[in-house]
Structure 1
Amino acid sequence: MSFLAASLLVAQQLLVQERGLGGNTLQPNSPYQNAAWASVVDALAVLPDINGKPFGVAVLIDDRGYFVAHSSSLVYEPLVAKMSGGAEVKLGRIGYDKETQLVLFGAHNWEPGKRQPVRVAPQVKPGELMVATVKGPVRGMLTSDNRPGLFLPSQRFVPLAEIQFETKDVPVGGAIVFDNSGGLVGILGAILKPDHPNQGDDFGNPMGGTGGNAQPAKNAFGPQGLTVAYALGPKILNRVVEGFKRDDHQVEHPSVGLFFKDGPGPGQVVVDEVTPGSPCALAGVKADDLIMAANDVPVGNSIDLAALLFGLEPGSQLELLIFRAGRRITVSMTVGVNKD
């Protein structure tokens, strides 16, 4: 089973022009994407580097002047960002989610009602997407909405959306991904590269992924080569956005108090440790239990299980099928909140 190791993409170049982002604004390839771009361009802000040159992108998520960007798009703070029409807005950090490295900014002297915030899409399906880069929109294709991946530096395995798009010498780190109706479906904070784990490593010591540049996809898509990138899907992204909108700007990620590793045989995941007082402990899960399935989904390896658990919502129900002392046992619990 392959997984994804993250590496940051730096040195982004862009210019802000009237009603667009980029000196030579790229045009979408369909009327749907033209309409989607028109509906979201006023919610995008260009972030400068230390020399005042354009570097990254943030997106408006709330009419109170809340913007979200990936930390890889930031060089210094606070900063003055530029929006469509040449408008400038001063942004200061008011929140941060270390699990996803997404940053929440508040705009100084923001006037509500002037620009329409984006909405997070309820779901994303394989098919065409619009990648809003620093030079404008680029046509993309969602090829998978549930690829387990390793998010650095948090060392968290998460479910990711795999996106392919035609390479046109366009930097995409920090790019914002939308569906063709203008719904927010992801933020490309990093270019991620498929890799293969070493045998015998466990979940507590993530397997030796290598960073680096995105790799060209092998299958054909359009007239040019492909870049493959990965983003948090709308389910996790919506969790972060809703947390950022709270008065305390805190994001609630799930926790069940379970530490595990790959077992000696294929398709085996073994419980390594259970946190006292955690949902798993209260449900009766014990060290050395073999986890066979989670919510009726067969467990392939520790990476798959970790990504599945991170996709759960606090307060939801989790059912584990475990094997202990020659018996199959089903345990149920309510997913808790990660307090770290």
Structure 2
Amino acid sequence: MRKKNLFVISALALTVSTLMAPLTANAALPITVSNQSVPSLAPMLEQVTPAVVSIAIEGKQVSKQHVPDAYRFFFGPDFPTEQVQERPFRGLGSGVIIDANKGYIVTNQHVINNADKIMVQLYDGHEVTAKLIGSDKSSDIALLQIDTPKKLTAIKLANSDKLRVGDFAIAIGNPFGLGQTVTSGIVSALGRSGLNLENIENFIQTDAAINSGNSGGALIKLNGELIGINTAILAPDKGNVGIGFAIPSNMVNNLTAQIIKFGQVRRGTLGVQGRELTAELAQTFGYDTNQGAFVNQVMPNSAAQKAGLKAGDIIIAVNDDPIRSFSELRAKVATLGAGKTLTLKAMRNGKLQQFTVTLSASADNLVNADDLHSSLSGAQFSNTTVNGKAHGVEVTQLTKGSLAARSGLLKGDIIIGLNRLAINNLGQLRKALAHPPKVIALEIQRSNNVLYLIIR
């Protein structure tokens, strides 16, 4: 699995360990051995482990090497300045079935990055090819889908905002390709950030043994509900030291819902700049704890300004869920999605204030057409909706004289079809152009008219 620097391996894997703290009767399901009641996680795990799968990928890694100028001297100025090499690679990871009826599986984006083929191995050993529905690099989430006659088992998602430090946690995954492995521990910390792993960080920290290959696996509660997707470990020596990190289930739920609906994450933005709150800063602004997000600046015409937020406010809750840091606020806002309305609680001059905010769309939601098809170069696209439902892909930016402009596209055009295939979102357009036909007929809605543009 691809490794990431900064002490951290982005692949989390689980190794077998024993539960060190005593369990209460409510914490585990008891079984009887030799007429004695013995606490065991086995009954719960028998219900949950079929929902955790192993993922194997195949792909090609493209590398470019500069050709020395001497080659151009001997072979002429037309000799290429770069050599492109393709090297096949394979990778292993884990995934979690979150919808048994539709075959949806969530994993990490880095698990399937650059994959040409994705194979999912179910708990019973059955293998099936998966297709990528969508992914988000900033939050390291990817959504796959499989189609199989096999009866699937899904994990129920818990409310990760209700977690407490000290709650028991069990990790399930595929460490080092050994096969499904279960380890146990506790929630060591919440709201971890600053690891320089991904752009959006709001991790659950756990001491459940995790090792390379466990990325995309499940972190669950004692009742079998999913509290997080294992993503990284702190590993100076590339081994487990009891510090692992998982993406909270509430973030996973928000992100996958957007991918299913729009084919991508529609990131929301509040429009504030801020910093972590220190005890000294809190005292200066009439607040008696360092839990919260300090607002340095409110951007003009932003969602925050429209709601009435001001510089110097200390945001302490989102939708009644406590905010521990500015990083946690940023992660929650970014994953809730554009257009979402939420309630913020903030301290201002020592008094509690409440604000209702409708999140704006982030510039990250724009997609460069170059990433979709070379003939559309010069355009930027974003999803558009009508009455809350996905309704095509809008041309939001267009460079004058570009290939996209010369093909007849105009700013404000909405792509609703391609070669008689309905296009509702960017995910569908990306999929349709993954292996483009020789002739592309784009069905365009322009004001109240519908027309076709032919692109070669």
Gaps of 5+ in 1: 14-24, 194-210, 217-226
**Contact 1:254–1:335, Cα closer than 8 Å, also in 2:** no
Q: Secondary structure at the match of 1:181?
A: coil
The aligned counterpart of 1:177 is: 219
Query: Match of 1:68, as an amino acid?
Result: V
**Does 1:283 find its partner at 2:307?**
yes
Change (3 A) 1:235 1:270: closer
How many residue pairs get matched?
285
Q: Distance in 1 between matches of 2:55 and 2:281?
A: 45
- What residue in structure 1 maps to residue 9 of structure 2? 8
Deviation, structure 1 residue 144: 4.0
Amino acid at match of 1:8: I
Once residues 232 and 144 of structure 2 are traced to their aligned partners in structure 1, the CA distance between those partners, rounded to angstroms, is 19
* 2:209–2:244 contact (8 Å) kept in structure 1: no
Counterpart of 2:105? 67
Q: Counterpart in 2 of 1:79?
A: 118
Q: TM-score, normalised by structure 2?
A: 0.52
Rounded Cα–Cα distance in structure 2 between residues aligned with 1:6 and 1:187? 19
How far apart, CA to CA, are the structure 2 residues paired with 1:338 and 1:86? 43
1:47 aligns with 2:84: no
CA distance in 1, matches of 2:195, 2:209: 24
Give the CA deviation at 1:338.
4.4
SS at match of 1:120: coil
- What percent of counterpart residues are identical? 16
Flag the 1:275–1:82 CA change in 2: closer, same or farther, 3 A.
same
Do the aligned residues in 2 keep the contact of 1:96 with 1:104 (CA within 8 Å)?
yes
Query: In the alignment, is residue 237 of structure 1 matched against residue 252 of structure 2?
Result: yes
Equivalent residues of 1:27, 1:34 under 8 A apart: no
**Distance verdict in 2 for CA 1:11–1:70, change over 3 Å:** closer
Whole-angstrom distance in 2 between the partners of 1:99 and 1:175: 18
CA shift for structure 1 position 191: 1.4
TM-score by length of 1: 0.68
Instruction: Write the distance in 2 (CA, Å) between the matches of 1:121 and 1:6.
Output: 29
Matches of 2:237 and 2:348 in 1, distance apart? 38
Question: Quick one: which amino acid aligns to residue 238 of structure 1?
Answer: N
Q: Which residue of 1 aligns with 2:193?
A: 149
**Aligned residue number for residue 191 of structure 1:** 233
Shift of the 271–282 alpha-carbon distance from structure 1 to 2, 3 Å rule, reads same
Greater Rg over alpha carbons, structure: 2
Residue of structure 1 in register with 2:171 after alignment: 131
Alpha carbons 1:315, 1:335 under 8 Å: kept: yes
Provide the secondary structure at the position in 2 that maps to 1:48. Answer: strand
Structure 2 residue matching 1:114: 3-state secondary structure: coil
> Which SS does the other structure have where 1:121 is aligned?
coil
RMSD: 3.9
2:359 equivalent in structure 1: 336
Which ranges of structure 2 fall in alignment gaps of 5 or more residues? 1-5, 20-27, 30-39, 59-87, 283-292, 365-456
1:171–1:96 CA distance, 2 compared to 1 (3 A): closer
Q: Which has the higher contact order (CA 8 A, sep 6+)?
A: 1
Give the direction of change, closer, same or farther, for the CA distance of 1:60–1:264 in structure 2 (3 Å limit): closer
CA distance in 2, matches of 1:276, 1:263: 23
More helix by share: 2
Structure 1 residue 295, shift from structure 2 partner? 3.6
Separation (CA, whole Å) in 2 of partners of 1:10 and 1:235:
20
Sort the Cα spacing of 1:334 and 1:187 in 2 relative to 1 into closer, same or farther, 3 A: same
The residue that corresponds to 2:281 in the other structure is: 267
Cα distance in 2 between the residues matched to 1:52 and 1:284: 52
> Does structure 1 residue 319 correspond to structure 2 residue 358?
no
After TM superposition, the structure 1 = structure 2 runs for residues 211-230 of structure 1, keeping only pairs within 5 Å, are: 213=238, 216=241, 227-230=242-245
Q: Deviations over 1:154-187 (max 9, x none)?
A: 43342x22211257x7754333212222211111
CA distance in structure 1 between the partners assigned to 2:57 and 2:223 by the alignment:
31
State the alpha-carbon separation in 1 of the partners of residues 331 and 187 from structure 2: 21
Task: Tell me if structure 2 keeps the 8 A contact 1:128–1:139.
Answer: no
Matched, 1:116 2:153: yes
Q: Which residue of 2 aligns with 1:165?
A: 208
SS in structure 2 at match of 1:180: coil
